Chain A
Amino acid sequence: MKKSTAEESRSHKAQVVVDRLGKKLNRQIVGSMVACVHCGLCTDSCHYVLSNPGDPTYAPAYKADRIRKIFKRHYDWTGRVFPWLVGAKTVMTDEELEELKDISFGKCTNCRRCSLNCPMGVDFATMNRMTRGLLVSVGIMPEGVATVSKDQWELGNQMGVLKEDYLETLEWMEEELQDELDDPSAKIPVDKEDCAVVYSINPREAKYDPRTIGDAAKIFHAAGEDWTMPSDGWDMTNFGLFSGDDELGGAVARHLFDRVQELGGKKLVISECGHGYRSTRCEAPNWAKYDVPFEMESSVETMLRYVKEGRIKLDKTRNSKPVTFHDSCNLARSCGITEEPRELLNLVCTDFREMYPNREENYCCTGGGGAMSMSEYTPRRLKSGKVKAEQLKATGAKVVVTSCHNCVDGLTDVIRHYELDMEVTQLVNLVAEALVIEKPARVPTVVEDLPLAGRRIVVADDEPDQLLYLATVMEDYGATVYQAASGDEALTLVRKEKPDLVTLDLAMPGRPVTEIYEVLRSDSELEGLKICIITGRPEMRELIYQRMETPPDGYLDKPLSEDDLLRGVRKVLELSHQEV
Chain B
Amino acid sequence: MVTAEVETEQIQLIKGDITLLEVDALVFYAEPNLELGSGFGTAISIRGGPTVKKELERLGPVGTGEAVVSGAGNLKASYIIHAVGPRFQEENTEEKLKTTILNSLRCAEEAGAKTIAFPPMGTGFYGIPLDLCSRLLVELVSDHLKTSASLKEVIICVQDAREFEPFRKELSKVTG
A138 sits at the interface (CB 8 A): yes
Q: Which residues of A contact B37 (CB under 8 A)?
A: 147, 150, 547
Partner of B89, one of A16, A146, A151: A16
A139:B88 contact, CB within 8 angstroms: yes
Give the size category of A's interface with B: 20 to 34
The answer, yes or no, to whether B175 is at the interface (CB within 8 Å) is no
Known A-B contacts A16-B89, A137-B88; A151 and B46 likewise in contact (beta carbons under 8 Å): no
By DSSP majority rule, is chain A's interface helix, strand, loop, or mixed? helix
A153 and B39 form a contact (CB under 8 A): yes
Q: Chain A residues near B43 (CB, 8 Å)?
A: 154-155, 162
Residues B90 and A12 in contact, CB atoms below 8 Å apart: yes
Interface residues of B in 22-64 (CB under 8 A from A): 35-43, 45-47, 50, 53
Q: Are B38 and A577 in contact (CB under 8 A)?
A: no
Q: Which residues of B contact A163 (CB under 8 A)?
A: 17
| Docked complex: A127-158 residues within 8 A CB-CB of B | 137-139, 146-151, 153-156
- In the complex the two chains form, is B20's CB within 8 Å of A150's CB? no
Check B42 against A162 for contact (C-beta < 8 Å): yes
A317 vs chain B, min Cβ distance (A): 45
Flag if A549 contacts B89 (CB, 8 Å): no
Q: Which of A162, A163, A248, A254 has the most CB of B within 10 A?
A: A162
Quick check: A147 and B38 within 8 Å, CB to CB? yes
Q: Which of A138, A149, A151 has the most CB of B within 10 A?
A: A151
Chain A residues lying within 8 Å of B9, measured Cβ to Cβ, are none
In the complex, what distance in Å separates the CA atom of A163 from the CA atom of B161?
A: 19
Best-buried of B43, B91, B125, B127 by chain A (most CB within 10 Å): B125
B95 in the interface, Cβ–Cβ < 8 Å? no
CB proximity to B under 8 Å, residues A247-275:
248, 251, 254-255, 258
A524 shortest CB reach to chain B, Å = 9
Minimum CB–CB distance from A339 to chain B (whole Å) comes to 37
Would you list 27 pairs from A and B whose C-beta atoms are within 8 A, ordered by A residue? A137-B89, A137-B127, A138-B89, A139-B87, A150-B38, A150-B39, A150-B124, A151-B38, A151-B42, A153-B125, A154-B38, A154-B39, A154-B40, A154-B159, A155-B39, A160-B38, A162-B43, A254-B160, A254-B161, A255-B159, A255-B160, A547-B37, A547-B38, A550-B45, A550-B50, A579-B20, A580-B17
18 more A-B contacts (CB under 8 A) besides A162-B47, A580-B17?
Answer: A137-B127, A139-B88, A146-B38, A150-B37, A150-B41, A154-B38, A154-B39, A154-B125, A155-B39, A160-B39, A248-B124, A251-B162, A255-B162, A549-B36, A549-B41, A549-B45, A551-B42, A577-B46
